[in-house]
């Protein structure tokens, strides 16, 4: 919205500058060409617009609170101090109204007027978009090579690590799995649990890749400060607790460092995920 607001803010201002000239020119010709004079007077009226456009952008963030995909964006919004109305859409992601705007029925989802389709889903795309829009280089560096590393970490997480994490934890969490994965088939429990175990075992490799390659001796993927890739990773690792995964010490320290660095921005929304995990474990 702000991007569009900026363009509309600029236009009337430019027109407004030209307005007195145009208006006097038009006035001189007024008797001969009244219609043109009326047209020339228009920009002066348009100059009032910026005040309206400068209003606080209204953004809605639809979420499911026990989800780590959602947790990432909820942490980011708070850490970046971006205002958004958070809407809990539990139970309504497949309603006709929701599907009309988001046929993928996925949260987190941001709604904002300036977006080409009015909505945006995919946690990493949302964080990149908002970082770009608000110039949040601290979370998403502008230099192409540095940014590429953050993108690589996020794509690697979404494409390689997260499917393993989902297979390893979603069954225990009581979540439906991605289409085609073993949990959503009619296979027996022994088959499902061996698939779960295989995914759990396979998690060690991407975890190690994050440590050795993306962090490479630095506290965060982003270096000294957490990037949007770090927010996405730390949030994801919260789910490991539900399977009592033997999380490596470095990863525990990393998560603690993220929470310390981001404070309430991290711990407040993380409490929803942790509360849900405790509930599941208590059953």
Ligand X SMILES: N[C@@H](CCC(=O)N[C@@H](CS)C(=O)NCC(=O)O)C(=O)O
What distance in Å separates the CA atoms of residue 189 and residue 167, rounded to the nearest whole number? 14
Would you state the structure tokens that stand for residue 202, as one six-digit string?
């396979």
What distance in Å separates the CA atoms of residue 35 and residue 9, rounded to the nearest whole number? 27
Q: For residue 93, state whether it binds ligand X (rule: CB under 6 A).
A: yes
- The H or E element containing residue 224 is none
In sequence order, the β-bridge partners of residue 109 are 62, 121
Q: For residue 111, state whether it binds ligand X (rule: CB under 6 A).
A: no
Task: Tell me, rounded to whole angstroms, the distance of Cα 78 from its chain centroid.
Answer: 11
Stretch that binds ligand X, among 74-82, 115-123, 207-215, 256-264 (CB under 6 A): 115-123
Give helix 228-237 / helix 68-79 axis angle, nearest 10°: 140
The single residue among 4, 105, 138, 147 that binds ligand X, judged by CB under 6 A, is 105
Q: For residue 169, state whether it binds ligand X (rule: CB under 6 A).
A: no
Binding mask 146-165 for ligand X (x = CB under 6 A): ------------x-------
What does the DSSP 8-state code read for residue 227? -
Stretch that binds ligand X, among 48-56, 64-72, 141-149, 235-243 (CB under 6 A): 64-72
Pairing of the two strands 109-111 and 119-121: antiparallel
The single residue among 69, 128, 131, 196 that binds ligand X, judged by CB under 6 A, is 69
The single residue among 19, 40, 59, 64 that binds ligand X, judged by CB under 6 A, is 64
Contact 36, 26 (CB under 8 A): yes
Stretch that binds ligand X, among 101-109, 188-196, 236-244, 245-253 (CB under 6 A): 101-109
Stretch that binds ligand X, among 10-18, 77-85, 119-127, 251-259 (CB under 6 A): 119-127
Tell me which residues touch ligand X (CB under 6 A).
64, 67, 69, 93-94, 105-108, 121-123, 158
């Amino acid at each position: 919205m702000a991007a569009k607001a900026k363009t509309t803010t600029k236009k009337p201002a430019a027109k407004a500058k030209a307005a007195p000239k145009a208006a006097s020119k038009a006035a001189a010709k007024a008797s001969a060409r009244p219609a043109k004079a009326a047209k020339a007077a228009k920009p002066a009226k348009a100059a009032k617009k910026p005040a309206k456009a400068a209003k606080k952008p209204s953004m809605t963030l639809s979420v499911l609170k026990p989800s780590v995909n959602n947790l990432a964006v909820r942490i980011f919004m708070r850490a970046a101090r971006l205002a958004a109305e958070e809407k809990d859409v539990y139970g309504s992601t497949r309603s006709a109204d929701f599907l009309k705007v988001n046929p993928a029925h996925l949260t987190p989802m941001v709604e904002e007027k300036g977006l080409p389709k009015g909505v945006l889903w995919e946690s990493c795309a949302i964080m990149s978009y908002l970082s770009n829009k608000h110039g949040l280089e601290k979370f998403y560096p502008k230099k192409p090579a540095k940014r590429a590393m953050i993108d690589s970490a996020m794509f690697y997480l979404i494409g390689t690590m997260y499917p393993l994490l989902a297979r390893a934890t979603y069954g225990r969490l009581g979540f439906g799995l991605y289409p085609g994965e073993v949990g959503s088939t009619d296979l027996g429990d022994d088959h499902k649990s061996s698939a779960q175990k295989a995914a759990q075992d396979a998690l060690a490799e991407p975890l190690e890749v994050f440590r050795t390659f993306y962090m490479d001796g630095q506290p965060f993927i982003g270096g000294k400060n957490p990037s949007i890739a770090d927010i996405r990773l730390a949030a994801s690792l919260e789910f490991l607790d539900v399977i009592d995964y033997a999380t490596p010490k470095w990863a525990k320290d990393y998560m603690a460092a993220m929470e310390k660095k981001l404070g309430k921005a991290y711990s407040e929304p993380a409490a929803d995920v942790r509360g849900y995990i405790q509930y599941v474990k208590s059953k």
